Chains A and B, each alone.
Chain A
Amino acid sequence: MNAPNTAPTSAPASRARLFAVFNRLALRGFGGVLPWAQRTLVEEERWFTSEQFVEMLTLAQVLPGPNIANVALMVGDRFFGLRGALAALGGLLAVPFAIVMTLALLYGSFGSHPLVVAALRGMSAVSAGLVIGMAGKLLPTQRRNLPGWLFVAAAFAMVGPLHWPLHWVMLGLGACSIAIARARGSRRP
């Protein structure tokens, strides 16, 4: 088991490094890149603590746009400003773009080949597990936040099994959760 709250000990040395790390992250992402973000940025590169990572992911999720692209922009911006943001986003997109276009040019119907569809189905089952596992690893960030557990469960149930629209759950549940956090915050200055 890994300690949930390791202090960040490192920062990217250059924009090239930022590009390389996000490129690595992207190329691991079969069926979704986001599950790799926590492992790569927190556990391997140690650029962030779990708490800092959750903070960024929270903002990335609330805002429109691909969550992982938003994370890349924020990470890059934090270390190297706008140029860093572009380097991180470039790292995320450049090589996957080339791969996707090559596949599209070579095999127009590659994505609907029965073998690919079958493999994809199995990979998506793993991807589902990876996202759940990532959530499991981030849960300790809420250990001192009792109402937080309730909101984890409610957000999961409403958007997962109940299929309620994401926008409304974020708005409704978010408002309640923020109000409670505000009240707790002002009691404990």
Chain B
Amino acid sequence: MSAIDLAEMFLRFALLSLLSIGGAITVAPEMHRFVVNERGWIDDGQFAASISLAQAAPGPNLLFVTLVGWNAAGWVGAAVATAGIMLPSSVLALAAHRWTERLRDRPWIQAFRAGMAPITIGLLLATGWILGETNRDHPVLVAVTAASAATVVATKLNPLWLIAGGALAGIALTR
């Protein structure tokens, strides 16, 4: 990849960063269209592998963007892609946080907090629903989801045990 390609990747990813409400994964389709279809920097398989590898490893799923950059242009690509997707949203988050803290006594800021809080909780429920949706044809996995939710609410059991159990259940189901 040339320096101009890298600059273009940075700018495109920076633009996607500002659109990524709900997380970096929400702009994955648009990113795919750009790097695979439009520019041909990586192929379909590399893109899909980047997402599944980032999900399989511990840590934030946003690292799939790092892998997309790495597949496209090695270490420099990884750095450029990560900076592009992180920088604009991070600057915005810091600025918004400081601004709302400074004005926290204003009625509109209070109304914003009070009004958006229930929507935040509703969106968490929706995230759980969407994550679980792919397993709808597997009653065992649906039960795993329900049991995990109940365990988290009702007990202090370390969820790592649940995750280990889930991995085993997933493997057992394919046997």
Residues on A lying within 8 angstroms of B by beta carbon are 1-2, 26-36, 39, 43, 54-70, 73-74, 77-78, 82, 85, 89, 92-93, 95-97, 99-101, 103-104, 108-112, 114-139, 141-142, 145, 147-156, 158-161, 166-167, 169-170, 173-174, 177-182, 184-186
How distant is the Cα of A85 from the Cα of B61 in the complex, in angstroms?
19
**B49 on the A face (CB < 8 A):** yes
Between A and B, how many residue pairs show CB distances below 8 Å?
A: 380
Residue among A2, A36, A111, A185 having the largest count of chain B Cβ atoms under 10 Å: A111
Do the beta carbons of A65 and B131 come within 8 Å of each other?
no
Contact of B127 with A36 in the complex, beta carbons under 8 Å: no
Contact of B170 among A60, A123, A155 (CB under 8 A): A123
Contact A65 B57, beta carbon cutoff 8 Å = no
Option from A96, A129, A150, A180 in Cβ contact (under 8 Å) with B148: A129
Q: Please state if B56 and A120 are interface contacts (CB–CB under 8 Å).
A: yes
Instruction: Name the distance in Å between B105's Cβ and chain A's nearest Cβ.
Output: 12
- Chain A residue numbers with a CB within 8 Å of B102 are none
Interface pair B22/A70, CB less than 8 Å apart: no
Question: Are B167 and A66 neighbours in the complex by a CB distance under 8 Å?
Answer: no
Given contacts A65-B92, A122-B168, contact A142 B144 (CB under 8 A): no
Q: Does B121 contact A (CB under 8 A)?
A: yes
Q: Could you list which residues of chain B lie within 8 angstroms of chain A, going by C-beta atoms?
A: 17-24, 26, 45, 48-63, 66-67, 70, 78, 82, 86, 88-90, 92-94, 96-98, 100-101, 107-108, 110-132, 134-135, 138, 141-142, 144-154, 156, 159-160, 162-163, 165-171, 173-174
Using A77-B97, A141-B117 as known contacts, say yes or no to A186 and B159 having CB atoms under 8 A apart. Answer: no
Contact B55 A111 (CB under 8 A): yes
Q: How far is the CB of A71 from chain B (nearest CB, A)?
A: 9
Q: Which of B19, B125, B130, B156 has the most CB of A within 10 A?
A: B125
Minimum distance in angstroms from B110 CB to a CB of chain A? 6
Report A-chain residues with C-beta under 8 Å of the C-beta of B108: 182
B60 touching A92, Cβ below 8 Å:
yes
**Which of A58, A89, A96, A156 interacts with B116 by CB under 8 Å?**
A58
Q: Which residue of B lies closest to A184 (CB)?
A: B114
Q: A155-B118, A160-B125 are in contact. Are A125 and B93 (CB under 8 A)?
A: no
Residue pair B169, A177 in contact (C-beta under 8 Å): no
Could you tell me the distance between the alpha carbons of A152 and B125 in the complex, rounded to whole angstroms?
A: 8
Q: Judge whether A59 and B148 touch: CB under 8 Å.
A: no
What are 7 pairs between A and B in contact, CB < 8 Å?
A26-B60, A67-B22, A134-B124, A136-B149, A138-B120, A159-B130, A160-B129
- Whether the pair B162, A64 counts as a contact (CB closer than 8 A) is no
By CB atoms of chain A within 10 A, which of B88, B108, B126, B134 has the most? B126
Shortest Cβ gap from B48 to chain A (Å) = 7
Within the assembled complex, what's the spacing in Å between the Cα atoms of A93 and B82?
10
Instruction: Give bound CA distance, A122 to B52, whole Å.
Output: 14
A155 contacts B97, C-beta separation under 8 Å = no
Q: Is the CB of B121 within 8 A of A139?
A: yes
